[in-house]
Amino acid sequence: DAGVIQSPRHEVTEMGQEVTLRCKPISGHDYLFWYRQTMMRGLELLIYFNNNVPIDDSGMPEDRFSAKMPNASFSTLKIQPSEPRDSAVYFCASSPSEAATGWSGANVLTFGAGSRLTVL
Amino acid sequence: AQSVTQPDIHITVSEGASLELRCNYSYGATPYLFWYVQSPGQGLQLLLKYFSGDTLVQGIKGFEAEFKRSQSSFNLRKPSVHWSDAAEYFCAVGPRTYKYIFGTGTRLKVLA
């Protein structure tokens, strides 16, 4: 398996523009997570999905952020409009369910390489 | 409140020396505990995890960690560090529902 695939790896945009980050999870993983990493706040969970359904979006900072998972192999995180304070590295991660791997294999996240966003 | 503390922001060790990275947590029940490693420009990779049972867990790349309930700690150790171990290390704690809290990380530098 190629692992969790994220695109773009780097994005530079101007304030006010729409940004879309993409993620392809590992095939067979039922859970998908979006994290944001900054120097000031560390690694924060934004939202996670189970079987394409959003389970917890309490970490999404504000309405400018939205995430979708239209099918088991694709998810997007959108920021509209973007602001300089959104500059960060955004990670997507996936995990199998306990039903698929047993309890010892579940609850383990495999991360993508991240998308570094710079908003000018 | 649930929290994870990694008291050391930076650690420098010589190649071949032993390593211990500290992790303390605050959690109401027995948590799931993890150590992840992040190389520059890369995502996080799981080193090891503790769910239950034996409190000394072995991970990849020769790392181990010990869960000490009485001290609310889950310190990561390696007997002999290699130059390739230079990276940032994150401790994480959470319930069984994936809402893990990550520490702020410890950046390891290895001297040749």
Whether residue A104 has pLDDT greater than 80: no
Give the pLDDT confidence of A30-64 residue by residue, as tens digits.
999 999 999 888 899 999 999 999 999 999 988 99
A2 and chain B in contact, CB less than 8 A: no
Residues 6+ apart with CB under 8 A from A63: none
The distance of B9 to chain A (nearest Cα, Å) reads 12
Tens-digit pLDDT profile for residues B4-61: 999 999 999 999 999 999 999 998 777 899 999 999 888 899 999 998 888 999 999 9
Give the count of alpha carbons within 13 A of A66, CB side only. Answer: 8
- Quick one: tokens of B28? 């109401």
- Find, among B39, B42, B41, the residue nearest to B61 by Cα: B39
B98/A95 Cβ within 8 A: yes
Report the residue from B36, B41, B51 with minimal CB separation from A103: B51
CA distance B31 to B1: 13
